Structure 1
Amino acid sequence: MLSKREEERRNQLEVVALDELVPEDHLVRKIEQAIDFDFIYDLVKDHYSSNNGRPSVDPVVLIKMVLIQYLFGIRSMRQTIKEIETNVAYRWFIGYGFSEKIPHFSTFG
């Protein structure tokens, strides 16, 4: 029997945790469990001013973005940003929600 969806649910609002949408066996979950990225703050603290300038992008986020690019074979940072914007697992890994703006690719330039 041929079925046709009568209702379009693209605009349906649902309350869901981002964590629920990332499969338990996804590579980014395994990396998050295996590596404590807090050591990065100690490595870069001398390169940031504590009392002037504009707020920076979290250095752990920047490292994780490059890691996504490398691990998943994405050829450019511009493409990596596009992938992060649409991939729930990548957003989860860098700690960004659905509505947060991903850093611009030129941040790496």
Structure 2
Amino acid sequence: MDMLSKSDGTNRDQLEMVSLDKMVPEDHLVRKLEKTIDFSFIYNLVENLYSDRGRPSIDPVVVLIKLPFLQYTFGIFSMRRTIEVVNTNLAYRWFLGFAFYD
């Protein structure tokens, strides 16, 4: 009798209830960064650059500060590669405040 188990990949499309917060380890560097650095002061600095009308803007802290911060910290040298990595790395998504489908 053969005891070797092989995965057939059927679990890949399984629907699960998960929390992004639970998927990022407590000791991950992005958690330490988020806990240590208060990025909220940036909103006051750029507030006059945004209109009250029209569609909601993209969060300036994410685009102008956190995304380049990830690039520098983790040695990602192109914006295209950064977007690819953010699409697949749950810790980076957590740091940026993105949900699973953002």
Question: TM-score over 0.5 for the alignment?
Answer: yes
Counterpart Cα distance in 2 of 1:8 and 1:85? 22
Identity %: 61
Listed as ranges, the matches of 1:1-109 within 5 Å are 1-6=3-8, 8-51=10-53, 53-62=54-63, 63-100=65-102
TM-score by length of 1: 0.83
Q: How many Å apart are 1:49 and its aligned residue?
A: 2.3
Runs of 4+ in structure 1 off by over 6 angstroms are none
Q: Provide, for residues 25-52 of structure 1, a one-character-per-residue CA deviation record: whole Å limited to 9, x for no partner.
A: 111000010111110101111222233x
Instruction: Find the residue that maps to 1:31 and give its secondary structure.
Output: helix
- Residue by residue over 1:52-100, the C-alpha shift from the partner in whole angstroms, topping out at 9 and shown as x without a partner, is x543210111111111111000011111011111110011011110111
Distance 1:44 1:84, change over 3 A: same
Q: Cα distance 1:77–1:6, how it changes in 2: closer, same or farther (>3 A)? A: closer
Query: Where does the alignment leave 5 or more consecutive residues of structure 2 unmatched?
Result: none
- Aligned-pair CA distance for 1:6: 4.8
Per the normalisation by structure 2, the TM-score is 0.88
Between 1 and 2, higher relative CO (CA 8 Å, sep ≥ 6) is seen in: 2
RMSD over aligned Cα, in angstroms?
1.5
Q: Which has the greater radius of gyration? A: 2
Q: Show structure 1 runs of 5+ residues with no match.
A: 101-109
* 1:7 CA displacement: 6.0
- The separation in 2 between residues aligned to 1:73 and 1:6, in whole angstroms, is 35
Cα displacement (A) at 1:2: 2.4
In structure 2, the residue corresponding to 1:9 is in which secondary structure?
A: helix
